[in-house]
A = this chain, B = another copy of it.
């Protein structure tokens, strides 16, 4: 059962190029893309763009077989390891390539205390904040039209009290306060690209994050969507927690993005680890039982999220095993072979949740079409068209000779 809010039910009038009604015709509508954002970390596209080798070609093509939405890394410390020398070219080429393959791209993140640029620490706080805002201007303006979606600021609940090491962003967050800094960085991003989708993103799903969002919205911060991380290295949240989190964060009425989802296909990380980064292992193998479990849990999770009217995006963090924390967290193994979770998700996205129907028009060329929101190709005899179907409004589609 596909949830109603994921579908259109609309009357369409089909005409030929001269405007004549295509009466009593059978028309084949095949969905080619989803409006819903099925995402994944797209980091693997960078080595492909850099090297163009066969291995990365295969990885990225299997990625593209499922996903329409990818996250690219803009960690300041890696993006601009030396002040004034940002790695813009390779990121731009990668983003443009993804766009050419009909993938929507999100940049992650514009402001974060982790993987922060160390060279910032030689400046006073006023200068750090200025450089932070200039950095946002440079990326958001510079990538406009190619990247129009950003994780503007990451993990603010912990940001001013993060004490693992000194860093420039924690310093300014301490001084300006959480909401004050969020407002600065969002206002700047919004000013640079008023059409962009701007996310606040956090792994903290407690009442802290709720109150933070509440404060930001009342302070007029232009948040487009709430980003929720769900790295489940320590075991699947389960239906109950997932529904509880959805219920709490729905109260704002904003779109919800699951921005960083992880489910493990091996042994799970012990519960006593508080910061996932503290779990450093040489080997973390994927196992057959783990892979079955991962596919089962991922299916339940994707179904629950797809079922929720406010969820607009789900991004699985690692496409391939052995990325962050060396975890068996991917849809494909280290040898690039697909796991059961890959096959499961491909079936959901490309079959169960994708529309492929025929309708027959009446004498005036009208038919009611019911299908999942997205892009369609249409065919009837020697006529064809493409259409984006996302609402229930009546429309006319002009079909052309092939």
Is A363 close to B, CB under 8 A? no
Are the C-beta atoms of B218 and A180 separated by less than 8 Å? yes
Is A157 close to B, CB under 8 A? yes
Distance, CA A208 to CA B179, complexed state (A): 13
Is A47 close to B, CB under 8 A? no
Is A300 close to B, CB under 8 A? no
Is A251 close to B, CB under 8 A? yes
A217 / chain B contacts, CB cutoff of 8 Å: 177, 179
A161 / chain B contacts, CB cutoff of 8 Å: 207
Are the C-beta atoms of B207 and A215 separated by less than 8 Å? no
Give A177's nearest chain B residue, CB to CB. Answer: B214
Please tell me how many copies of the chain the complex holds. Answer: 2
Least CB distance from A231 to B in Å reads 21
Are the C-beta atoms of B179 and A215 separated by less than 8 Å? yes
Distance, CA A161 to CA B180, complexed state (A): 26
Interface string of A280-313 (1 = CB under 8 A from B): 0000000000000000000000000000000000
Known: A183-B218, A211-B215, A212-B215. 12 other contacts (CB 8 A): A157-B211, A174-B251, A177-B218, A178-B211, A178-B214, A180-B214, A180-B218, A207-B208, A208-B211, A211-B211, A215-B218, A216-B218
Given contacts A177-B251, A251-B177, contact A157 B215 (CB under 8 A): no
Least CB distance from A214 to B in Å reads 5
Least CB distance from A208 to B in Å reads 6
Q: What are 28 pairs between A and B in contact, CB < 8 Å?
A: A157-B207, A157-B211, A174-B251, A177-B217, A177-B218, A177-B251, A177-B252, A178-B211, A178-B214, A179-B211, A179-B214, A179-B215, A179-B217, A180-B214, A180-B218, A183-B218, A207-B208, A208-B208, A208-B211, A211-B212, A211-B215, A212-B215, A215-B218, A215-B219, A216-B218, A218-B218, A219-B219, A219-B220
Most buried by B among A178, A207, A211, A252: A211
Distance, CA A219 to CA B183, complexed state (A): 11
Are the C-beta atoms of A214 and B215 separated by less than 8 Å? yes
Interface string of A129-168 (1 = CB under 8 A from B): 0000000000000000000000000000100010000000
Give A220's nearest chain B residue, CB to CB. Answer: B219
Most buried by B among A157, A212, A214: A214
A174 / chain B contacts, CB cutoff of 8 Å: 251
- The residues of A with any CB-CB pair to B shorter than 8 Å are 157, 161, 174, 177-180, 183, 207-208, 211-212, 214-220, 251-252
Least CB distance from A394 to B in Å reads 36
A180 / chain B contacts, CB cutoff of 8 Å: 214, 218
Give A178's nearest chain B residue, CB to CB. Answer: B214
Give A204's nearest chain B residue, CB to CB. Answer: B207
Least CB distance from A267 to B in Å reads 32
A177 / chain B contacts, CB cutoff of 8 Å: 214, 217-218, 251-252
Q: Which 5 A-B pairs have the closest CB atoms?
A: A215-B215, A218-B219, A179-B218, A219-B219, A211-B211
Least CB distance from A200 to B in Å reads 13
Distance, CA A212 to CA B213, complexed state (A): 10
Least CB distance from A223 to B in Å reads 13
